């Protein structure tokens, strides 16, 4: 059994509640153990999954990238960075550009946490404005929110750079392996992942293959769960650490269990850190309607997704998402449609919202008080005994909301700002939306 370090790390990424993909990450680079450069790479397992630069830099951390659709995941805030171990925040950097697409000397957004043994973990390349509201000197627990994955600083795409230093400042490689000379025979992980952590991250049915635009632009999955008879359907599977030797099988099952189609998991190379493969079928109009199942067997695990083939693409019940903030509609020939709720219902939904940039931060009392007061007044506007009273309530509420906006601006400025600048901007934008909707009441 491999000995554990004094600090044992949990995995530093977590998906948000409601995330339904099978996986969300891959590892592109480990610590480079070979200090010779350039092009002299050695990772902890004696492989070459790292990099160095002619300038003299040897990669010093573990790069964990989000996959598939890293930019979309970043924009949607789906993957959070959490503390791998409990400790104290000793440094933070925020507000830097977060859509970098290349190596450079630009500053990054990061949180630095010192542990009980005085080792320090760096969490880098974060999304601007997403960092925890806690400051230097505050403590965090294991698994506590630190920020969201981004691409700030010297970065070619959304990922977390996780770097660890010993109390004396020397570099630590948290992975135990035959070629780890930095801290031999010791793993810093509670449960160390396999060197090749081969798995399927997602599988989908869709109207077209996924679109991967130029770096920095959100991708388009082009997925759907509902199709008309005679439709052409694209089946796509997304893998991490795909080894050709693992093989695998794709199968589409009809509603009553018979096989519609089956094909092997393809590969054109011995190894991919991330890969996707798509296959297209046109379903004849004579195929049965009902719920089909797309299944992939890979590396000893079975993954599946259901999709519907029917004479209508939706029913009112199938489009209802249970969210009072949206109006759900169904066009049987087009599918589900959703629009933001208006009126008092819409205002209530906006008032319950928290800007993504403010997640993990404590909204200052003055902002919260004025915002809550204005929202409460608007929520009860329909109870006003007359049109004149109604307008008076609305005007008063808007006045309080405008004061909340000014307070948010003040709280996010200056050396002793209590909110990040991104949170201040997010709050003011949210309040502007509430005010705009209030004028329609």
- Tokens (6 digits) for 262: 């089956």
The set of residues, in sequence order, having a beta carbon less than 8 Å from that of 319 and lying 6+ positions away, is 328, 329, 330, 336, 337, 338
Give the pLDDT confidence score for residue 333 in this predicted structure: 75
Q: What is the pLDDT of residue 348?
A: 83
d(CA 33, CA 31): 6
Contact of 409 with 367, CB cutoff 8 Å: no
Give, in order, the Cα–Cα distances in Å from 16 to each of 192, 312, 389.
23, 32, 43
DSSP 194: P
Q: Is the peptide bond before 68 cis (omega within 30 degrees of 0)?
A: yes
Predicted local distance difference test score (pLDDT) of residue 323: 64
- Measured CA to CA, the distance from residue 354 to residue 344 in angstroms comes to 18
Task: Quick: pLDDT tens for 91-119.
Answer: 999 999 999 999 999 999 999 999 999 99
Helix residue ranges, H only, 60-100: 70-76
Looking at residue 257, what is its pLDDT? Answer: 96
Kindly report the CATH class assigned to 1-195: mainly beta
pLDDT at 330: 84
pLDDT along the chain (441 residues), means of 10: 76 93 98 96 98 96 98 94 97 96 96 97 96 94 96 97 96 97 94 97 97 96 94 98 97 97 96 98 96 97 96 78 74 77 79 81 87 88 85 89 89 82 83 84 82
Cα separation of 389 and 386, whole Å? 5
Name the token pair of 11.
């995995």
Shared fold status for 1-195 and 199-311 = no
Tokens standing for residue 163:
């770097």
CB 262 within 8 A of CB 252: yes
3-state secondary structure of 207: coil
Q: 116 is written with which tokens?
A: 């009980």
Percent of the residues in the chain that have a pLDDT greater than 70, as a whole number:
98
pLDDT of residue 253: 98
Let me know: does 68 contact 202? Beta carbons within 8 Å: yes
Bridge partners (DSSP) of residue 309 are: 227, 290
What is d(CA 422, CA 126) in angstroms, rounded to the nearest whole number?
A: 13
Residue 314 near residue 335, CB atoms below 8 Å: yes
Are 207 and 224 in contact by the 8 Å Cβ rule? The answer is yes
3-state secondary structure of 305: strand
pLDDT of the residue at 322 = 67
Give me 10's structure tokens.
């949990």
- Please report, for the chain, the start and end positions of each structural domain, with discontinuous segments joined by +: 1-195, 199-311, 343-438
Q: What is the pLDDT of residue 324?
A: 66
- Global pTM reads 0.77
Strands 232-243 and 62-66: unpaired
At 194 the pLDDT is 97
Q: What is the DSSP letter of 362?
A: P
Question: What's the fold here for domain 199-311?
Answer: Immunoglobulin-like (2.60.40)
Q: Give tens-digit pLDDT for 399-412.
A: 999 999 889 888 88
Taking all residues of the chain, what is their mean pLDDT, rounded to a whole number? 92
Distance (Å, whole) CA 37 – CA 19: 41
pLDDT digits (tens, 9 = 90+) for 224-242: 999 999 999 999 999 999 9
What are the structure tokens assigned to 48, written together? 């070459």
pLDDT reported for residue 2: 59
Rounded CA separation 252/258 (Å)? 9
């Amino acid at each position: 059994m491999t000995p554990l370090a004094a600090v044992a790390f949990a995995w530093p990424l977590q998906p948000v509640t409601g995330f339904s993909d099978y996986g969300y990450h891959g590892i592109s680079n480990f610590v480079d153990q070979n200090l010779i450069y350039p092009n002299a790479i050695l990772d902890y397992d004696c492989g070459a999954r790292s990099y160095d630069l002619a300038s003299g830099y040897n990669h010093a951390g573990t790069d964990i990238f989000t996959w598939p659709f890293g930019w979309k995941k970043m924009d949607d805030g789906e993957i959070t960075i959490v503390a791998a171990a409990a400790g104290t925040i000793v440094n933070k950097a925020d507000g830097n550009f977060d859509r970098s697409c290349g190596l450079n000397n630009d500053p990054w957004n990061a949180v630095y946490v010192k542990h009980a043994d005085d080792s320090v973990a760096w969490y880098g390349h974060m999304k601007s404005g997403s960092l925890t509201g806690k400051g230097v000197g505050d403590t965090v627990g294991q698994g506590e929110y630190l920020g969201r994955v981004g691409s700030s600083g010297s970065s070619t795409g959304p990922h977390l750079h996780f770097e660890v230093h010993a109390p004396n400042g020397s570099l630590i490689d948290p992975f135990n392996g035959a070629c780890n000379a930095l801290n031999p025979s010791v793993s810093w992980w509670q449960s160390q992942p396999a060197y090749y952590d081969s798995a399927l991250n997602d599988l989908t049915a869709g109207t077209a293959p996924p679109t991967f635009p130029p770096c920095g632009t959100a991708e388009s999955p082009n997925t759907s769960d509902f199709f008309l008879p005679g439709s052409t359907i694209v089946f796509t599977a997304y893998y991490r650490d795909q080894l050709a030797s693992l093989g695998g099988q794709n199968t589409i099952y009809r509603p009553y269990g018979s096989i519609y189609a089956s094909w092997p998991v393809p590969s054109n190379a011995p190894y991919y850190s991330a890969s996707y493969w798509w296959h297209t079928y046109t379903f004849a109009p004579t195929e049965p309607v009902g719920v089909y199942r797309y299944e992939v067997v890979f590396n000893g695990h079975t993954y599946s997704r259901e999709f519907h083939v029917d004479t209508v693409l939706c029913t009112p019940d199938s489009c209802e998402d249970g969210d009072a903030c949206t109006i759900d509609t169904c066009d049987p020939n087009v599918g589900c449609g959703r629009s933001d709720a208006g009126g008092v219902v819409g205002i209530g939904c906006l008032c319950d919202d928290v800007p993504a940039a403010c997640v993990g931060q404590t909204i200052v009392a003055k902002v919260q008080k004025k915002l809550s007061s204005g929202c409460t007044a608007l929520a009860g506007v329909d109870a006003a005994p007359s049109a004149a009273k109604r307008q008076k309530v609305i005007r008063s509420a808007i006045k309080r909301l405008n004061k909340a906006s000014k307070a948010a601006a003040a709280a996010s400025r200056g050396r002793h700002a209590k909110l990040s600048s991104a949170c201040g901007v997010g709050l003011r934008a949210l309040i502007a939306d509430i005010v705009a909707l209030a004028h329609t009441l």
